[in-house]
Amino acid sequence: MKSLKELDQIREKALEMTRVRQGQGLVKIVVGLGTCGIAAGARDVMAAILDELSKRGLTSVTVSQTGCVGLCDQEPLVDVIKAGEPRVTYGRVTPEVARKIIAQHVINHQVLGEWVIATKEA
């Protein structure tokens, strides 16, 4: 260790790795991982979301899962909840759409209208 700066760089990286333990972030993504969701490919959607967040270093986003909400026909379902914004539910999400959700909705605040099946005021 040659300087405090070097230490800070290692710390930054390490902090990202453990941020999930700081509690819920400002953006929360919920994936439907009931039997219906999994059968419709929610597993791959989840993997794509984690991969995309990881690539972009968006570790402050909380990713969570839920069971069947009764809309089996629309699975895989992905909810994006941002502080102070309506909850947006996307239906029939594919891994590719999931990556778009991260890029456009989570980062650029543009809801992907054609995939939305419901919105709910916060």
Partner 1 sequence: MEFYRSHVLVCAGTNCSLKGNRAVREALVQEVARRKLDREVKVVETGCFGLCEQGPTIVIYPEGVLYCQTTVADIPEIVETHLLKGRLVQRLLYKEPVATKPVQTAPELDYFKRQVRVVLRNCGLINPEVVEEYLAQGGYQALGKALTTMSPDEVIATIKNAKLRGRGGAGFPTGLKWEFARKAAGSRKYIVGNADEGEPGTFKDRLILEGDPHSVLEGMAIAGYAVGADYGYIYIRGEYTLSIKRLKLAIEQARKLGLLGRDIFGSGFDFDVEIRTGAGAYVCGEETALFESLEGGRGEPRVKPPYPTDAGLFGQPTSINNVETLANVAPIISRGADWFRSLGTERTPGTKVFTLTGDIVNEGLIEVPMGITLREVIYDIGGGTKDGKTFKMAQTGGTSGGCLPQELLDVPMDYDNLAAAGSALGSGALLIMDDTHCIVDVAKCFARFFEHESCGKCVPCREGTMRLYQLVDKITRGEADEGTIPLITALAEMMYKSPLCPLGQTAPLPIMSTLKYFRDEYDAHINEKRCPTGTCKAIAARVQVAD
Q: Which of residues 72-111 bind partner 1 (CB under 8 A)?
A: none
Closest approach of partner 1 to the CB of residue 3, in Å: 6
* Closest to partner 1 by CB, 59 or 94: 59
Asked if 17 touches partner 1 (CB under 8 A), the answer is yes
Q: Which residues contact 46 (CB under 8 A, 6 or more apart)?
A: 31, 33, 63, 65
* Closest to partner 1 by CB, 8 or 96: 8
- Cα separation of 48 and 53, whole Å? 9
The mark string for 24-63 relative to partner 1 (x by CB under 8 A, - otherwise) is xx----x--xx--------x--xx--x--xx--x-x--xx
Compute, in degrees rounded to 10, the torsion defined by CA atoms 109, 114, 118, 121.
Answer: 30
Residue reference for tokens 């947006």? 88
